[in-house]
């Protein structure tokens, strides 16, 4: 790994600086090629980058982006927006909660006609009373409660006039209350008038009054109450001046969370904020934002908006019309998305989620590893701290074949899973089960002899049983007195003659990585540049490009390797405060029984995976149901096949619904006049006169049937079920990914 980040204002060879993230996870060393942080808190050109994206925080504030009030108005509107608690999957920014159950709705035509009739009736009664058609009976309360002298000659006529107009107003108000209730005017207002007025209010030019300082998040009340009022004043001033962005806000809040757990870091935190302001506690890359954003993000809630839950009867009432969003607490249970090419998995799911994870990595909350084919264009290079282009000479980093471990048994298990893990389901009793042991019998002695693991050519030579390579290794072991490792090597040689020995199969698969295109990769000697997923303790952003074109089988091996390393490294982290996420753009031929066991362990380690498949047929049949049961979030895109839909329908189960059976029976009469009327109705309508009988009963039906999933979903729509790491869940939701 590259050398640690130098002290601010010192030379490259100066000793390491104190942790600039007080109370937050350790600062990772800046990978090669990453710009070092400038003394002002950002990289070279960082101020320009900040200015270009200062308006990002206001893009998500409903009505805030266009509000008057200077450059700080978008950020202030965003940070002060309400974020009420909501069920999983609901976009919380500016959300207005709805009741969990749909109230009894009156048909719109009946509501309008009833309101109109009640208004006309009320107006008619008022007109009759005002014009004297009903006599003076309606005036008796006025005559009863006013003195007679006010109405006589020379009396106080002005007082009587005021009393009369007051009575007229009360009488009219009484008519409005009575006929308003009869005509359901409040329901009419809630259904049509209130949303229209709210939309006009939100779209108009306004600047809502700020909340009191103790409740204003822009004033940083938690810092004031926690003993850092000077830092709060500096950050509040930065916010009012328009120099604070949503990334800065989330990053400094993350650092403050660590300070609360370690109060001894409070002076260092305060000093950092006073010196750098909005640029305090920077990510090691020095970046304060991404070069471009294509999705709506709310970093205060950690959400990215992907679409809108459709106003469909199959969606729960509280979700209908609400924004649909994903957050780390959902991805922590892992997400599987299935859909054909062109369904929107990449553009509508993978890219927005990856963009969100990269933003959250800049705030110190997340570590992300994205794996996809070269040319998949998951995200620009500038989004990442480390970009590994396997098979390309311009790659600044290699991939550590052994996952950064020093344990031969662990390294053997990871490598065996990558090389022949896909064969375990097809041949459960074959040599694949003994492959980790065979590899360990070679990796252990080699590391004991040379202090490192073998490179790909060296390991292939050992797996092939080369007498020269094995003899040289045995000589080194005996010369250094490591007789136990020599006995391991002898045992490997004795087993190499068995018919079910795994080494021949391992050597054949490893030969796919021992190609000229990969000659400079996977090196283990001194001077190599391997990147290890052991760095998931730090908020790193990593992208691994697989050489799918021309090396399809090698790409599948490498995808299984990264998945195996990720599940092992994420679980073995000492600091799990960072959410670690693996985004595997195409999980075809990478799902194995061991991989599923690893994914199951991620939930308890504050980590998760996002996997996409074109079809479940790319997974061994014996593992398809297990895969759907392992992940907590499942997503079926428009265009899935009926047999894929059947798997989703099975895992989503059934629910009790109200079924209405309507029976029509033709009416036959012997009365001449009635028969004439029925004949005329038949001529007019073209149908016989019938009587209708309705039977209502409760039945259990599938939430979504295989046929509905395969044929009823519109393009760029998906059905999604969600589960959080705490066990909260949302039933399958129909989501429009275009809005």
**DSSP three-state, residue 542:** strand
Domain edge (last residue) among 517, 532, 557: 517
Is 436 inside any structural domain? Answer: yes
Is 657 inside any structural domain? Answer: yes
Domain edge (last residue) among 517, 534, 553: 517
Number of domains the chain contains = 3
Q: What is the residue-wise DSSP string for 52-113?
A: HTTTHHHHTSTTTTT-SSSTTHHHHHHHHS------TTB--TT-----SSPPPPPPHHHHHH
pLDDT for residue 362: 97
| Cβ–Cβ under 8 Å, residues 149 and 155 | yes
| Cβ–Cβ under 8 Å, residues 651 and 633 | no
Contacts 24+ apart (CB under 8 A), 125-128: 125/175, 126/172, 126/175
Q: What is the pLDDT of residues 93-118, one digit of tens each?
A: 999 898 877 766 777 788 888 888 88
Is 665 inside any structural domain? Answer: yes
Low-confidence ranges of the chain (pLDDT < 70): 1-70, 103-104, 201-206, 208, 425-432, 684
In the numeric block, which tokens belong to residue 304? Answer: 């990215």
Provide, for the chain, the percentages of residues in helix, strand and coil under a 3-state DSSP scheme, each rounded to the nearest 5: 45, 15, 40
Is 116 inside any structural domain? Answer: yes
Is 199 inside any structural domain? Answer: no
Is 123 inside any structural domain? Answer: yes
Q: Tally Cβ neighbours within 10 Å of residue 708.
A: 16
In the numeric block, which tokens belong to residue 246? Answer: 């949503």
Domain edge (last residue) among 464, 499, 517: 517
In the numeric block, which tokens belong to residue 556? Answer: 């599948």
pLDDT for residue 426: 59
Q: How far apart are CA 188 and CA 180, in angstroms?
A: 10
Is 226 inside any structural domain? Answer: no
User: Looking at residue 536, what DSSP letter applies?
Assistant: G
Residue 710 is part of which domain span? Answer: 635-736
């Amino acid at each position: 790994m590259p050398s640690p980040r130098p002290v601010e204002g010192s030379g490259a060879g100066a000793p390491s600086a104190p942790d600039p993230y007080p109370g937050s996870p350790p600062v990772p060393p800046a990978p090669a090629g990453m710009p070092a942080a400038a003394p002002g808190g950002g990289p070279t050109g960082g101020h320009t980058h900040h200015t270009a994206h200062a308006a990002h925080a206001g893009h998500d504030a409903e009505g805030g982006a266009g509000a008057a009030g200077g450059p700080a108005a978008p950020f202030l509107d965003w940070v002060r927006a309400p974020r009420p608690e909501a069920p999983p999957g609901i976009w919380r920014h500016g959300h207005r909660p709805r009741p969990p159950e749909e109230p009894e709705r009156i048909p719109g035509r009946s509501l309008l006609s009833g309101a109109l009739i009640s208004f006309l009736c009320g107006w008619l009664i008022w007109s009759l009373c005002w014009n004297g058609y009903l006599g003076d009976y309606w005036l008796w309360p006025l005559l009863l409660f006013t003195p007679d002298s006010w109405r006589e000659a020379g009396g106080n006529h002005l007082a009587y006039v005021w009393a009369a107009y007051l009575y007229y107003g009360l009488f009219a108000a009484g008519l409005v209350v009575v006929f308003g209730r009869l005509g359901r005017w409040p329901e009419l207002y809630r259904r049509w008038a209130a949303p229209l007025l709210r939309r006009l209010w939100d779209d108009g030019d306004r600047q809502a009054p700020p909340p009191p300082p103790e409740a204003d998040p822009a004033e940083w009340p938690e810092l004031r109450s926690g003993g850092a009022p000077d830092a709060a004043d500096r950050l509040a001033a930065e916010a009012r001046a328009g120099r604070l962005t949503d990334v800065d806000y989330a990053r400094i809040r993350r650092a403050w969370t660590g300070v609360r757990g370690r109060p001894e870091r409070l002076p260092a935190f305060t000093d950092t904020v006073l010196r750098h302001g909005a640029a305090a506690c920077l990510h090691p890359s020095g970046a304060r934002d991404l070069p471009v954003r294509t999705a709506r993000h709310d970093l205060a809630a950690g959400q990215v908006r992907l679409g809108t839950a459709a106003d469909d009867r199959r969606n729960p009432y509280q979700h209908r019309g609400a924004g649909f969003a994903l957050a780390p607490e959902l991805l922590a249970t892992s997400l599987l998305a299935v859909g054909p090419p062109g369904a929107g998995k990449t553009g509508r799911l993978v890219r927005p989620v990856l963009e969100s994870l990269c933003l959250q990595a800049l705030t110190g909350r997340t570590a992300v590893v994205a794996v996809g084919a070269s040319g998949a264009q998951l995200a620009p290079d500038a989004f990442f701290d480390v970009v590994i282009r396997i098979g390309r000479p311009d790659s600044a980093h290699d991939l550590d074949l052994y996952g950064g471990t020093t344990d031969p048994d662990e390294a053997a298990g990871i490598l065996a899973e990558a090389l022949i893990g896909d064969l375990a389901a097809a041949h459960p009793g074959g040599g694949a089960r003994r492959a980790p042991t065979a590899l360990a019998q070679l990796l252990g002695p080699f590391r004991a002899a040379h202090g490192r693991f073998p490179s790909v050519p060296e390991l292939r030579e050992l797996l092939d049983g080369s007498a020269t390579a094995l003899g040289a290794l045995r000589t080194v072991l005996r010369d250094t007195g490591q007789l136990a490792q020599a006995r391991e090597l002898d045992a490997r040689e004795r087993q190499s003659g068995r018919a079910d020995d795994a080494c021949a199969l391992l050597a054949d698969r490893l030969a796919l990585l021992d190609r000229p295109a990969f000659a400079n990769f996977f090196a283990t000697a001194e001077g190599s540049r391997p990147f290890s997923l052991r760095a998931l303790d730090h908020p790193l952003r990593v992208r691994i490009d697989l050489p799918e074109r021309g090396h399809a089988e090698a790409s599948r091996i490498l995808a299984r390797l990264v998945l195996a390393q990720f599940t092992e490294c994420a679980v073995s982290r000492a600091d799990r405060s960072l959410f670690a996420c693996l985004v595997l753009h195409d999980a075809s031929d990478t799902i194995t029984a061991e991989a599923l066991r690893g994914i199951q362990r991620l939930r308890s380690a504050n980590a998760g995976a996002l996997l996409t498949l074109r079809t479940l047929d790319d997974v061994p049949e014996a593992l398809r149901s297990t895969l759907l049961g392992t992940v907590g979030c499942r997503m079926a895109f428009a265009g899935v096949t009926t047999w894929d839909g059947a798997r989703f329908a099975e895992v989503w189960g059934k629910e009790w619904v109200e079924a209405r059976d309507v029976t029509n029976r033709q009416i036959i009469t012997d009365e001449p006049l009635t028969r004439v009327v029925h004949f005329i109705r038949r001529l007019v309508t073209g149908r016989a006169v019938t009587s209708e009988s309705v039977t209502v009963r409760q039945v259990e039906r599938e939430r979504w049937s295989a046929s509905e999933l395969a044929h009823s979903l519109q393009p760029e729509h998906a059905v999604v079920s969600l589960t959080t790491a705490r066990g909260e869940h949302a039933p399958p939701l129909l989501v429009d990914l275009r809005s």
